[in-house]
Structures are given as C-alpha cells and as structure tokens.
Amino acid sequence: MTEGRRGVRIQEDPEFKTLVSQKTIISFVLTVLELFLYFGFIWLIAYNKPFLSSKFYGVITWGIPIAVGTIILSWILTGIYVLWANNKYDTMVKNIREKIG
C-alpha cells in the first residue's frame, strides 16, 4: 500500500476523527484558560497596583501569592494535558496504528 493511500485511510477513520476533535477541544480549552490566567495577572499589574501592593499577611503583599498561584496553576494546566495525553491520546494513537497497520 502506498503512503498516500494509508494517509487517506487514516484521515477517513472515525477513531482518528474522534482523536483529532478531542485533541483540538482540550488544547483549545487549556489554552484559553492559560491565556485568561496570564493576561488576568498582567491586567492586575497594569490596572490595580494598589490591590497588588496591599498587605496580605505581614510584609507579604497580595501580588506575591497571586503571582505564585499563576505559576502553579500553569503547571497544573500542563499536568492536566500531560495526564490526558498519556492516558487517552497515546492509547488512541496506538489503537489507530494497530488498526491501520
């Protein structure tokens, strides 16, 4: 079988179409969440400095836990994608490869 024909078979496979749509959805959702998180923090820096510089606890201002939270939530979003890719995506790719040959 030629490489071109194999590519057509893969693209026509319903399991492959499901894989592509799931990857698109999870990538889009996680990207939007990350952009909202990051630009929300930047927006706070630009437009609400008094809040970020107000005291949270002792000498710690609100800006520090929010910045740390932004970084940690970015890691969590990355972890969600990695878990999904390891548990769902890789399994689906393996199944498609075995089916197509």
b/e map of 8-41 (b: 16 or more CB within 10 Å)? Answer: eebeeeeebeebeeebeebeeeeeeebeebeeeb
Tell me, what's the pLDDT at 82?
96
Tell me, what's the pLDDT at 6?
60
Structure confidence at residue 10 as a pLDDT band (50, 70, 90): confident
What pLDDT, in 10s, does the model give residues 24-83? 999 999 999 999 999 999 999 999 999 999 998 999 999 999 999 999 999 999 999 999
